[in-house]
Amino acid sequence: DTEVTQTPKHLVMGMTNKKSLKCEQHMGHRAMYWYKQKAKKPPELMFVYSYEKLSINESVPSRFSPECPNSSLLNLHLHALQPEDSALYLCASSHNQASGRMREQFFGPGTRLTVL
């Protein structure tokens, strides 16, 4: 199984709502990532989890709260978002080892988020 799955595929939420994005992989990867992608721009890194611990937070506002409950799951909890947070949110995973090919990241299909 070389697939990263993300749910939901689409999400529309108001600025006062609380919602969560979910990501799952069963490749034994111990590094997982959240990226944000706005139209016509490349994905931008938000968070990195390594062995289920948050290792990188790219100065993301606190209205985005990541969680890694186990080695296969990664969540992104959303609260009090702004319309400018509307974007495609991509999850990815990879091995943690340092050697070349092992470091490629496998991306999920993304969640298209619209904040009204």
By CB under 8 A, tell whether 71 contacts another protein. Answer: no
Residues in 35-64 that interact with another protein by CB under 8 A: 35, 41-45, 47-50, 55-56, 58
The nearer residue to another protein, 85 or 110, going by C-beta atoms, is 110
Largest pairwise CA distance in the chain: 44
How many chain residues are in contact with another protein, going by CB under 8 A? 31
* CA distances from residue 28 to 51, 64, 79, 93, 104 in whole angstroms, order as listed: 11, 26, 30, 9, 14
By CB under 8 A, tell whether 90 contacts another protein. Answer: yes
Cβ-in-10-Å burial (0-12, 13-18, 19+) of 82 comes to: exposed
By CB under 8 A, tell whether 72 contacts another protein. Answer: no
By CB under 8 A, tell whether 82 contacts another protein. Answer: no
By CB under 8 A, tell whether 26 contacts another protein. Answer: no
Q: Exactly one of 74, 89, 110, 115 binds another protein (CB under 8 A); which one?
A: 110
**Closest C-alpha among 91, 1, 60, 73 to residue 30:** 73
- Kindly provide the b/e burial profile for residues 102-111, where b requires at least 16 CB atoms within 10 angstroms of the residue's own CB: eeebeebebb
Residues of the shown chain interacting with another protein in the complex, contacts defined by CB under 8 A: 4, 30-31, 33, 35, 41-45, 47-50, 55-56, 58, 90, 94, 96, 98, 100-101, 103-110
